[in-house]
């Protein structure tokens, strides 16, 4: 353990990155799914 470093800086950076990446993954996959399913519905109507 490095005594001179503030561990919380690294902990907060790791949590921000992990939570941000996970939320972005969930939002992207959900929106892409909704977009694709709407496109399929439109193709039925045409």
Partner 1 sequence: MHGFANPARFLRFARWLTPLLLAAGLVITGASLWWGLARAPAEALQGDSVRILFIHVPTAWLGMAGWMAIAGASMAELVWRHPLAGIAARAAAAPGAVFTAVCLTTGSLWGRPAWNTWWVWDGRLTSMLVLLFLYFAYMALASAAENDGQGGNARIPAIFGLVGAINIPVIHYSVIWWYSIHQPPSLSMGKSAMSSEFLYPLLASTIGFSLIFGGVVLARMRAILADAQAEARLRRKAFAED
| Footprint of partner 1 on 10-39 (CB under 8 A) | 10-11, 13-15, 17-19, 21-22, 25-26, 29-30, 32-33, 35-37, 39
Say how far apart CA 15 and CA 17 lie, in whole Å: 5
Question: What token pair was written down for 22?
Answer: 């996970």
Q: SS3 for 37? A: helix
Residues in contact with partner 1, total (CB under 8 A)? 30
In the complex, what is the shortest distance from the CB of residue 46 to partner 1, in angstroms, rounded to a whole number?
7
Say how far apart CA 19 and CA 17 lie, in whole Å: 6
In the complex, what is the shortest distance from the CB of residue 27 to partner 1, in angstroms, rounded to a whole number?
10
């Amino acid at each position: 353990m490095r005594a001179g470093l503030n561990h919380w800086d690294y902990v907060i950076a790791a949590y921000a990155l992990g939570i941000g990446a996970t939320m972005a993954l969930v939002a992207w996959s959900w929106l892409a799914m909704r977009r694709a399913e709407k496109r399929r519905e439109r193709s039925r109507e045409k």
